[in-house]
């Protein structure tokens, strides 16, 4: 393997050293399908829970479907079911192409895949039967945590092997993000799920739980997401990233400042103030670093703005980047203590969480699903119109949800500040909460369109011309 | 400047992966732990030395269920037994609080802000969270319902029982779900022959909520909502 493999994403040969195919397409496809299945579980949970807010929960008084438990199914399935499966699909596709080596073992890949889906099923069952753990974003029952730890490690070993086989050659940007994130995710999972559970209570435990909440998003989801962007955007646009120096600044800045942010989830709490101030400063620093990354990607697109119209994956990716910049700018503002006074504990935070987890990473995932699915089923997308429907329903849904909840958060914050009775906040929130459910229905409708479209595409007869191109697996090469 | 070394797996795995992560844990998490080292974590047995009056009230109000699920403390109630039952109820109550996701809609710390002091009570301090029941910490990040760390004694056991069974019966605007599985039916010779009473989980969650902030119980009933009331409160 030569060095050019690592600097030109997507240009790697399809076959590795031996007779084994470089990319295990069955695993990629499996993770995409699993991701969509868990996404529907998570969406259903979110929809049901949102109906409790205007007292129309469809299953009142049923213990196993209690809204409080369903809420945890919603968040955990989004993180560990939807996003993790999707990211494994993206990494199983891109890592072998960027390194020139296949994953450590296809057997291990299958073991990880099936084991992970079984774990997720147990997580849903465990939470619904009342065995949730009191760690936000880590409500996976305590007795399942060891299995998750081992399985995450298995998944990481499988994917890090081709990276280590590069034997000290400089890596492409994507692999910086992936490799660092492998270490972070394993360490973070161990820290967040065991230390506050068994050893450190109160303020110290909350500091660690805060790091866990933030690191799950900042050190697992974010780096894998950006790694995939550094892979898919240049390969689809067929041009290199604008500035390698900015890529370096972006990665090392994020790697240093992101882990320091966690405590900003507990500002004005009993955690020592120096730690809280530190978290505020690092959060603003992250925003500056993120700006360099955003500039880098938008300069990569210069002169090719038309692809936002013509290429659905590129449109998904850049929509996600706009959301990412919005999120990070919002972060730098909302961690300021005077702003915290008003917006903390309100739906503003819920809006922010949905913006980052779905409008950013959801969009990127939908983008590379749109890119990969035709290659995996060896058929072109059946209908351009359905792709557009998927994009517009989802995007409209998530952005109106974000705006609704952000406005509502301000209203709630000021009502509390004005010492109005608690019920005033509830009465005035209900119209917003009804609308929030409607925006969620838009997202679900978009996803149903996509799932149907993917199924219908896979069932089409194979066109001869496409088979040729897909088996060559050259991503959009001219 | 040659920066190629920053692009190798050794740097991304070693420096950013392990190095920066460990630095962040030392900087952001070790500090609070070290600063609180002189405030040891209280066990549930230590906490339960002071049995709250509401726990005695539960014994009076639901004697059959209390004796069925915790034991018979005798008459007058044996203090050592009550302490033991109280510890059991706190442990189970917190378990229920976690299992039902209560902590996703109710926080457990009062921020140092004027409106929160007026609404809930004194600002939280680190030592009040240094106990086994804050393992893992239940600070919370969202308030659909009010903060609960100053809830002790603000409302009666009866209020809590009715509220858990059907929140809207007590607070018509509430969006809290019903927790009917905290209750069971008891045969009685009146009220159509059936009375709905808390079961073990019901008694435990009421005990737990009545314990939250029992170390700063308000002198009078009701939450101080005006500045003058809050003045008296102090």
Of B99, B112, B175, the CB nearest to A132: B99
Structural domain count, chain A: 2
pLDDT value at residue B216: 87
Structural domain containing residue A103: 1-171
The pLDDT of A434-447, averaged and rounded, is 98
Average pLDDT taken over every residue of chain B = 91
Sign, CA torsion A115/A119/A120/A125: positive
Residues 6+ apart with CB under 8 A from A135: A192, A193, A196, A197, A209, A212, B136
Contact B111 A196 (CB under 8 A): no
Q: How confident is the model over B97-119, as pLDDT tens digits?
A: 999 999 999 999 999 999 999 99
CA distance A258 to A264: 11
**Residue A477 in this model has a pLDDT that exceeds 90:** no
CA distance A326 to A320: 10
**Residue B224 in this model has a pLDDT that exceeds 80:** no
Question: Considering A115, A140, A171, which residue would you say is the last residue of a domain?
Answer: A171
Contact call for residues B147 and B116 (beta carbons, < 8 A): yes
pLDDT value at residue B232: 52
**pTM listed for this prediction:** 0.92
**Of residues A223, A86, A324, the one with CA closest to residue B13:** A223
ipTM of the complex: 0.91
Query: Where residue A421 sits, what CATH number does that domain have?
Result: 1.20.210.10
Q: How confident is the model over A186-236, as pLDDT tens digits?
A: 999 999 999 999 999 999 999 999 999 999 999 999 999 999 999 999 999
Question: Considering A171, A197, A215, which residue would you say is the last residue of a domain?
Answer: A171
Contact call for residues A292 and A250 (beta carbons, < 8 A): yes
CA distance A213 to A264: 10
pLDDT value at residue B17: 94
Chain A segment 77-106 residues within 8 A of B by beta carbon are none
Is residue A122 situated within a structural domain?
A: yes
Contact B115 A419 (CB under 8 A): yes
**Residue A478 in this model has a pLDDT that exceeds 70:** no
**Residue B218 in this model has a pLDDT that exceeds 80:** no
pLDDT band at B94 (very low <50, low <70, confident <90, very high): very high
Q: How confident is the model over A63-91, as pLDDT tens digits?
A: 999 999 999 999 999 999 999 999 999 99
Coil, helix or strand at residue B131: strand
The pLDDT of A239-268, averaged and rounded, is 96
**Residue A5 in this model has a pLDDT that exceeds 80:** no
Contact call for residues A164 and A216 (beta carbons, < 8 A): no
A67 — contact with chain B (CB < 8 Å)? yes
pLDDT value at residue B133: 96
Is residue A219 situated within a structural domain?
A: no
**Residue B19 in this model has a pLDDT that exceeds 80:** yes
Question: Considering A142, A171, A200, which residue would you say is the last residue of a domain?
Answer: A171
CA distance B233 to B110: 16
The pLDDT of A418-441, averaged and rounded, is 97
A349 — contact with chain B (CB < 8 Å)? yes
Average pLDDT taken over every residue of chain A = 93
CA distance A17 to A77: 37
pLDDT value at residue A466: 53
**B96 interaction partners in chain A (CB closer than 8 Å):** 130
Fold assignment, B42-233 = Cytochrome Bc1 Complex; Chain D, domain 2 (1.10.760)
Q: Which two tokens stand for residue A303?
A: 């002169």
Phi/psi of residue B195, nearest 5 degrees: -130, 140
Is residue A230 situated within a structural domain?
A: no
Residues 6+ apart with CB under 8 A from B202: B161, B164, B179, B182, B183
**A139 interaction partners in chain B (CB closer than 8 Å):** 101
Q: How confident is the model over A369-411, as pLDDT tens digits?
A: 999 999 999 999 999 999 999 999 999 999 999 999 999 999 9
B40 — contact with chain A (CB < 8 Å)? no
Of chain B, the percentage scoring pLDDT greater than 70 comes to 92
Q: How confident is the model over A29-72, as pLDDT tens digits?
A: 999 999 999 999 999 999 999 999 999 999 999 999 999 999 99
């Amino acid at each position: 393997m030569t060095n050019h493999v690592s600097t030109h994403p997507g240009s790697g040969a399809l076959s590795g050293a031996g007779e084994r195919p470089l990319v295990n397409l069955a695993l990629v496809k499996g993770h995409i399908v699993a991701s969509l299945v868990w996404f529907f579980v998570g969406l259903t949970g979110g929809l049901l829970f949102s109906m409790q807010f205007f007292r129309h929960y469809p299953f009142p008084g049923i213990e196993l479907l209690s809204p409080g438990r369903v809420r945890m199914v919603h968040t955990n399935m989004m993180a560990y079911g939807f996003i993790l499966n999707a990211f494994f699909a993206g990494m199983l596709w891109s890592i072998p192409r960027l390194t020139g080596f296949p994953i450590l073992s296809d057997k291990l890949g299958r073991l990880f895949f099936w084991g992970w889906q079984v774990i997720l099923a147990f997580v849903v069952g465990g939470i619904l039967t009342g065995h949730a753990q009191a760690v936000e974003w880590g409500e996976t029952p305590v007795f399942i945590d060891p299995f998750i730890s081992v399985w995450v490690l298995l998944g990481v070993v499988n994917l890090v092997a081709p990276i280590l086989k590069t034997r000290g050659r400089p890596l492409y940007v994507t692999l910086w993000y992936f490799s660092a994130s492998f270490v972070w995710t394993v360490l973070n999972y161990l820290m967040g799920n065991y230390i506050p559970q068994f050893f450190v209570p109160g303020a110290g435990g909350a500091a660690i739980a805060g790091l866990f909440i933030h690191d799950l998003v900042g050190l697992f989801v974010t780096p894998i997401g950006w790694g995939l962007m550094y892979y898919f955007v240049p390969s689809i646009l067929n041009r290199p990233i604008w500035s390698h120096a900015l890529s370096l600044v972006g990665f090392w800045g994020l790697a240093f400042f992101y882990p320091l942010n966690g405590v900003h989830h507990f500002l004005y709490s009993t955690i020592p103030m120096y730690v809280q101030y530190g978290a505020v400063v690092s959060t603003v620093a992250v925003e500056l670093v993120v700006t360099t990354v955003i500039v880098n990607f938008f300069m990569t697109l210069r002169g090719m703005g038309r692809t936002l119209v013509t290429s659905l994956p590129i449109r998904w990716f850049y929509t996600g980047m706009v959301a990412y910049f919005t999120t990070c700018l919002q972060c730098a503002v909302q961690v300021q203590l005077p702003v915290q006074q008003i917006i903390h504990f309100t739906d503003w935070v819920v809006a922010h969480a949905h913006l980052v987890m779905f409008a950013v990473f959801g969009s990127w995932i939908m983008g590379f699903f749109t890119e990969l699915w035709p290659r995996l089923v060896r058929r072109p997308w059946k209908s351009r119109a359905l792709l557009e429907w998927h994009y517009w329903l989802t995007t409209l849904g998530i952005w109106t949800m974000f705006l609704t909840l952000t406005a509502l958060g301000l209203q709630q914050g000021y009502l509390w500040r004005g010492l109005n009775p608690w019920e005033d906040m509830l009465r005035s929130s209900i119209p917003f909460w009804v609308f929030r459910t409607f925006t969620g229905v838009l997202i679900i409708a978009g996803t149903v369109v996509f799932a149907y479209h993917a199924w219908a595409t896979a069932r089409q007869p194979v066109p001869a011309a496409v088979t040729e191109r897909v088996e060559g697996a050259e991503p959009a090469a001219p | 400047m040659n920066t190629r070394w920053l692009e190798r797996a050794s740097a991304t795995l070693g420096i950013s992966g392990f190095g920066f992560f460990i630095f962040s844990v030392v900087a952001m998490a070790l500090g609070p732990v070290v600063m609180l080292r002189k405030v040891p974590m209280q066990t549930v047995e230590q906490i339960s030395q002071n049995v709250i009056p509401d726990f005695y009230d539960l014994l009076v109000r639901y004697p059959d269920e209390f004796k069925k699920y915790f034991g018979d403390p005798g008459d007058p109630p044996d203090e050592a037994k009550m302490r033991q039952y109280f510890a059991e109820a706190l442990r189970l109550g917190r378990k229920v609080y976690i299992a039902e996701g209560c902590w996703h809609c109710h926080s457990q710390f009062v921020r140092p802000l004027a409106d929160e002091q007026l609404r809930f009570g004194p600002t939280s301090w680190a030592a009040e969270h240094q106990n086994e029941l804050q393992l893992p910490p239940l600070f919370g990040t969202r308030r659909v319902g009010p903060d609960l760390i100053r809830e002790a004694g603000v409302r009666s056991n009866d209020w809590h029982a009715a509220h858990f069974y059907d929140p809207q019966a007590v607070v018509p605007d509430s969006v809290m779900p019903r927790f009917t599985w905290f209750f069971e039916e008891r045969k009685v010779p009146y009220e159509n022959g059936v009375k709905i009473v808390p079961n073990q989980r019901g008694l435990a969650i009421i005990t737990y909520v009545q314990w939250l902030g029992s170390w700063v119980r308000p002198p009078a009933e009701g939450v101080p909502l005006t500045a003058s009331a809050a003045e008296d409160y102090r």
